[in-house]
Structure 1
Amino acid sequence: MNSFTFKGLLAGIVLACAFGQGASAAEISGVKLDDTVKVAGKELKLNGYGMRQKFVAKVYVASLYLPEKSKSFAEILKMDGPRRVTIVLMRDLTSDEFGDAFMNGLSRNVDNVEKAKIIPQISKFGEMFALLQVLKKGDVLHMDWIPGTGTQCEFNGKKIGEVVPDLLFYNAILRIWMGDHPVDSSLKTALLSGK
């Protein structure tokens, strides 16, 4: 076995371990996805997953977990109960690169009136990205909506940043991938189609 193959195998094992426990429902580029996860004591189902690509480069794997599966983004926005978006990095990024992509995604999908309502929350999220400095291939970011608490993020198993209480903010985050102008239209289809 040459060193390239061995390194690839090792990276896949590390990603699988980092991604979580439970029955694996699917796999994409060596990233294993759990069929269900628990958020705030509730079991969520894998709704869909896909690869964010920029030109030909793989950037990250995104997955969406919901109380009940849905192919309707409008329905997802109105759902009760917790929700989770998980990002697994497929290459190294600086916090500036990740933060800029996040802000661009928000700007393209949230109008100025709505954005004005969530400026303080956006600022808190920006501070969180600044704490990360560098994101490495294999890093795992969970963005959870917890009813009665707010948006809570976890990076490689550790809670990071402040809790952001407004559901409007979490729904704005979801629009980055599933709004009218998603960062990647094929990823939007994958997250909503159960693929």
Structure 2
Amino acid sequence: MSSVNWIRRSARRLGVVALSLGLTAGLGLPMPAGAANEARAPTLEGQRFEGTVNLADRNLRLNGLGLRGVAWIKAFVAGLYLSAPSKDAAQILAMPGPKRIRLKIMLNAPSHELTRSLVGRIEDHESEAVRAKLGERLTGLGTLIDSVGDLKPGDTLDLDFIPDKGVSLRLNDKVIGLPVSGDDLYRCVLKIFVGEHPVDRRMKEGLLRGGY
């Protein structure tokens, strides 16, 4: 099941008509310090991201932001966090250490639709040898994502790689289940976003910005 089908079907089922962004104009008044910091935060389609996060005792930097959507339907904004900024997809895929893919959800959809999209993409574009090596771990990742339940606008879903632990999932800063082992599994997930056959080339371009 493709991501496009997930987005379209979710929109039809929930009667989504349009998504829009509100903009407010300044009135010439001094901006509060907190508001100034928010204004400087990396933002795409109204979704703000922290410039740095801490994962596995490492400070990761936001490498880029990319929108996943079809026409006027916006599914999520993705942010890629790395220990060192890079515009080179191959370098990122080979990069050791912790990584984070953060999704800021922008529509209502059951998490199993995301599972089908991610797992289906790996099954379609990885070799038989790779799929055989992933084995039950790929199914385990799908089960982990399914356990989240319904996703809604405003949710934050993190797909993390933690060395010596594997792929970990967090919803709104809460850890979901247990990690699924293997840097090879996370590499396959990451390739969906920045690999040779990305689910969305415009999103890939944004994620490969090389830092903020």
TM-score, length of structure 1 as denominator length: 0.84
The structure with the larger Rg is 2
Q: Secondary structure at the match of 1:175?
A: helix
Structure 2 SS opposite 1:180: coil
Distance in 2 of aligned mates of 1:151 and 1:24: 31
Amino acid at match of 1:161: G
CA RMSD of aligned residues (A): 2.2
**2:16: which partner in 1?**
none
What is aligned with 1:169?
185
Displacement of 1:23 after TM fit?
9.6
Query: Helix, strand or coil for the counterpart of 1:193?
Result: coil
Partner of 1:38: 54
What is the identity percentage for the equivalent residue pairs of Structure 1 and Structure 2?
34
CA gap of 1:22–1:82, structure 2 versus 1, over 3 A, is farther
Residue 70 to residue 194, structure 1, CA distance change in 2 (3 Å): closer
Counterpart of 1:186 in structure 2 is 202
* 1:61 aligns with one of 53, 71, 77: 77
Query: How far, CA to CA, are the matches of 1:101 and 1:107 in structure 2?
Result: 10
Is 1:102 aligned to 2:98, yes or no? no
Q: Which runs of 4+ in 1 moved over 6 A?
A: none
Q: SS in structure 2 opposite 1:34? A: coil
Matched ranges for 1:153-168 at <5 A = 153-168=169-184
For the pair 1:82 / 2:130, whether they are aligned, the reply is: no
Equivalent-residue separation in structure 2 for 1:23 and 1:141 (angstroms): 23
The DSSP-based 3-state class of the residue aligned with 1:159 is: strand
3-state SS of paired residue (1:129)? helix
| 1:122-174 per-position Cα deviation (integer Å, ceiling 9, x unaligned) | 11112112212211111111111111221111111111132112110000000
Give the Å deviation of 1:24.
Answer: 5.3
Q: How many residues align?
A: 178
The equivalent residue for 1:72 is 88
List runs of 5+ in structure 2 lacking aligned partners: 1-21, 24-36
Q: Does the 8 Å CA contact 2:93/2:191 hold for their aligned counterparts? A: no
Kindly state the Cα deviation for residue 53 of structure 1 after the two structures are TM-superposed: 0.7
Matched, 1:51 2:67: yes
Tell me the secondary structure at the aligned position of residue 43 of structure 2: strand
Amino acid at match of 2:133: K
More strand per residue: 1
Q: TM-score if structure 2 supplies the norm length? A: 0.78
List gaps (5 residues or longer) in structure 1. 1-7, 10-20
Contact 1:96 1:129 in 2 (8 A): yes
